[in-house]
């Protein structure tokens, strides 16, 4: 096996690896979009042990995944914050003697951790703040989808890569039971004609207004048995507001009641997910449920659009102010919020209806 060094950054690495580590300590959506990279690694190195290091909030995403041997939680904003926590994680990982480390995350901390583990092969992006600590640097193409960008990190390994690789998550039997109990609490036991709606996001300018979601839910309520509003605990109040404003008896708030994999299980049972540009749309792709995604401040061209075959993106095109940033922001920079307000409930309903027409009521 040829080892890449700082003086030989264009080399192709051959051979096999016994212990592989993937470092991705970013947001939930980023974690989901790193799964195809891990899946392809496992297909090419079926006998290798593949570990992942992630933040606690995304831990659930990787649970029960057949491609993953171990999941290491790095609570970089909590108990592992600071030098002592960083060194504890380094000592914990060093005993594994990783011979290949892939670093999709672009922080200096991730690069430094990989370097301290002294793996012969450390592959990361040229946009990483710690790129000089890698043995092989890969160009980060801003025009690619994030899944393809992550897969490009495997290019120095000359692996067989299927471009259509999508993420997969694996809710457990216990997750399915929890979803059964939640549905039963709403009188929906065994119900198959469900729509899920994910109205939350941490970025305000990526959020379609709650009153628009409520109007949409009201219009769709007669087209399906139930509409369930999903999200984290931080979305619970907003989802309850949407349910009340909709004035529909079959719109239910489950935000904060389900883990990530339990949410995935619920989405899996749904005919369609309606979502902002946020993590739930990637969960839907990972369980093969069609997505109707509403994009405001951000654009699909950034590489974070839902990747499913039948997925739809709704956006307001032709605005000179859009996109205003890669993540969106707290407020509209020009005060109009036209990118979202130009999207009407009727427009979204018309995009969703073809999926509902496939239901057998």
- Mean pLDDT across 104-110: 94
The top-level CATH class assigned to 173-356 is alpha beta
Phi then psi for residue 115, to 5 deg, are -65, -40
Identify whether the C-beta of residue 255 lies closer than 8 Å to the C-beta of residue 227. no
Q: What does the pLDDT look like over 164-177, one tens digit per residue?
A: 899 999 999 999 99
Cβ neighbors of 313 (< 8 A, separation 6 or more) are 293, 295, 300, 305, 306
Token code pair at residue 97? 């003697």
| pLDDT attached to residue 357 | 85
19-157 — its CATH code? 3.40.50.2000
Q: Tell me whether domains 19-157 and 173-356 share a fold.
A: yes
Indicate the DSSP class of residue 131. G
Residues paired with 136 in a beta bridge: 123
Identify whether the C-beta of residue 282 lies closer than 8 Å to the C-beta of residue 33. yes
Identify whether the C-beta of residue 328 lies closer than 8 Å to the C-beta of residue 295. no
User: Domain extents for the chain?
Assistant: 19-157, 173-356
| Cβ neighbour number for residue 335 with a 10 Å cutoff | 7
CA 23 to chain centre: 15
CA distance 276 to 261: 19
SS3 227: strand
Q: What does the pLDDT look like over 268-315, one tens digit per residue?
A: 999 999 999 999 999 999 999 999 999 999 999 999 999 999 999 999
| pLDDT attached to residue 113 | 96
| Cβ neighbour number for residue 291 with a 10 Å cutoff | 25
CA distance 241 to 210: 7
Residues paired with 211 in a beta bridge: none
Residues paired with 220 in a beta bridge: none
7 pLDDT band (50/70/90 cuts)?
very low
- Torsion sign over Cα 8, 9, 10, 12: positive
Model confidence, pTM: 0.93
For the chain, how far is it from start to end, CA to CA, in angstroms? 59
SS3 89: helix
User: Given a cut of 50, is residue 12 above it in pLDDT?
Assistant: yes
| Cβ neighbour number for residue 3 with a 10 Å cutoff | 14
In which residue are the tokens 């593949």 written?
50
Identify whether the C-beta of residue 125 lies closer than 8 Å to the C-beta of residue 106. yes
In which residue are the tokens 């969960």 written?
283
Residue from 168, 64, 44, 52 nearest 102 by CA = 52
Burial of 7 (0-12, 13-18, 19+ CB in 10 A): exposed
- Mean pLDDT across 190-196: 91
């Amino acid at each position: 096996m040829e080892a890449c060094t700082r003086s030989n950054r264009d080399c192709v690495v051959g051979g096999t690896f016994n212990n592989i580590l993937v470092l991705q300590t970013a947001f939930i959506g980023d974690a989901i979009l790193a799964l195809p990279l891990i899946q392809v690694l496992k297909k090419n190195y079926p006998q290798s042990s593949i570990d992942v290091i992630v933040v606690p909030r995304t831990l659930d995403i990787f649970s029960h995944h057949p491609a993953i041997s171990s999941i290491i939680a790095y609570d970089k904003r909590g108990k592992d914050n600071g030098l002592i926590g960083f060194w504890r994680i380094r000592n914990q990982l060093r005993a594994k003697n990783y011979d290949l480390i892939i670093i999709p995350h672009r922080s200096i901390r991730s690069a430094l951790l990989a370097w301290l583990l002294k793996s012969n092969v450390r592959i990361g992006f040229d946009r990483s703040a710690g790129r000089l600590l890698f043995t092989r640097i890969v160009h980060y193409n801003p025009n690619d989808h994030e899944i393809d960008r992550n897969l490009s990190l495997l290019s120095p390994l000359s692996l067989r890569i299927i471009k259509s690789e999508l993420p997969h998550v694996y809710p457990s039997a216990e997750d399915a039971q929890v979803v059964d109990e939640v549905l039963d609490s709403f009188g929906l036991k065994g119900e198959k004609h469900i729509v899920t709606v994910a109205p939350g996001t941490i970025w305000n300018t990526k959020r379609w207004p709650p009153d628009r979601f409520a109007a949409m839910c009201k219009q769709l309520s007669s087209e399906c048995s139930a509409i369930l509003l999903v999200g984290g605990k931080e979305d619970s109040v907003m989802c309850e507001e949407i349910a009340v404003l909709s004035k529909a008896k079959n719109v239910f708030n489950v935000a904060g009641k389900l883990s990530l994999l339990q949410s995935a299980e619920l989405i899996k049972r749904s005919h369609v997910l309606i979502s902002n540009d946020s993590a739930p749309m990637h969960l839907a792709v990972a369980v093969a449920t069609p997505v109707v995604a509403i994009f405001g401040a951000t654009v699909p061209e950034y590489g974070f659009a839902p990747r499913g075959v039948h997925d739809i993106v709704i956006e307001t095109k032709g605005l000179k102010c859009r996109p205003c940033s890669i993540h969106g922001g707290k407020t509209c920079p020009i005060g109009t919020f036209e990118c979202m307000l130009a999207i009407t409930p009727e427009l979204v309903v018309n995009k969703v209806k073809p999926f509902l027409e496939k239901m057998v009521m």
